[in-house]
Chain A
Amino acid sequence: MLLEPAQTTNYMILGLSVIVGAILLFVGSLAVRFRNLRQDLQVLKEVEHDEPEG
């Protein structure tokens, strides 16, 4: 008698979602940190430019 494979599709969906989701989350965190640092750099450049010489 042949046995059917176990019904584990829900766990597969959960597992693959966690993997893809975690990678996307990391990519998103890189993008957010890039954006924030660029904004900081812009502000610092403006402050440096506004300061009087000497």
Chain B
Amino acid sequence: MESTPRGLKWLSAVTGVLFLIALGMVLFYAPEEAVMGNVQRVFYFHVSAGWVGGLAFLVTAVAGIVYLMRSDPKWDRVAQASVEVGIVFTLINIVSGSIWARPIWNTWWTWDPRLVTATVMELIYLAYVMLRQGIEDPERRARFGSVYGIVGFISVPITFLSIRLLRTIHPVVIGSSDPSAQGAFDMTPAMLQTFMFSLLTFTLVYATLLWHRLRLQRLMERVEQMKMKVFAS
């Protein structure tokens, strides 16, 4: 296995530094929200994690389309790697939202449209992983995974739009909330700067993790090929 590319080393270092700066901004630069108090600071990373989840699943769908057009296994690797990162960040989004909800909604969980659609989306992509594990033939696995990744992406815009189209208590920070929303707030300039910086940082975190996960995928395939070669001889 070749050593870590110089570009990836730099990207990892820059991302790490930016993450620490973002955490510093969340804790010390953004002001305390007047009603909710300090728990509102979770919002910056909660939304950013949700953004990374949606972005990762979009990349999976696009990679699936390209794979079906070109049959190049490289694109299947991208789809698979991106799903794993997306699942992790969607889980972070759901759990951090639940922690925010406890003091604000007085419950860890409620059957609100946003919470339900986000959880269904997570389950859809967990099923993607299970589907792939159940197919032996690599070409067939890639083809089925691509189709599933494209169809499964429908869950992403549904999750995004659920708080804009349906009656919900989940606040909409960018845009207008439903009148029954609980925990909505207006952002000050410092809050907006922290939010945008967090979004940028999490996007870089995604790119970094995707690159590492892709290299892992290539190594897994190399080990599999080597195993087949050794056992066949």
Contact = CB atoms under 8 A, between A and B. Distances in A.
A36 B23 CA distance: 32
B227 to A, nearest CB: 6
Contacts of B209: 26-27, 30
A19 B88 contact: no
Contacts of A9: 37-39
A30 B213 contact: yes
**Interface range, A side:** 20 to 34
A41 B223 CA distance: 6
A14 B34 CA distance: 20
Contacts of B96: 15, 18-19
Contacts of A22: 88, 91-92, 95
Contact of B37 (A8, A23, A38): A8
Contacts of B227: 44
A1 interface: no
A34 B34 CA distance: 46
Contact of B212 (A15, A18, A30, A48): A30
Interface stretch (B99-107, B109-117, B145-153, B157-165): B99-107
A23 B216 contact: no
Interface residues of B, number: 44
A9 B180 CA distance: 25
Interface stretch (B41-49, B131-139, B166-174): B41-49
A12 B99 CA distance: 8
A30 to B, nearest CB: 5
Interface string A33-48: 1100110110011011
Given A18-B92, A26-B209, A38-B1, A44 B223 contact: yes
B59 to A, nearest CB: 17
Given A16-B45, A40-B223, A5 B35 contact: yes
Interface in B31-81: 32-42, 45-46, 49
Q: Which 3 A-B pairs have the closest CB atoms?
A: A8-B39, A15-B42, A5-B37
Given A18-B95, A41-B223, 12 more contacts: A6-B39, A8-B103, A11-B103, A14-B99, A16-B42, A16-B45, A19-B45, A22-B91, A26-B88, A30-B216, A34-B216, A38-B1
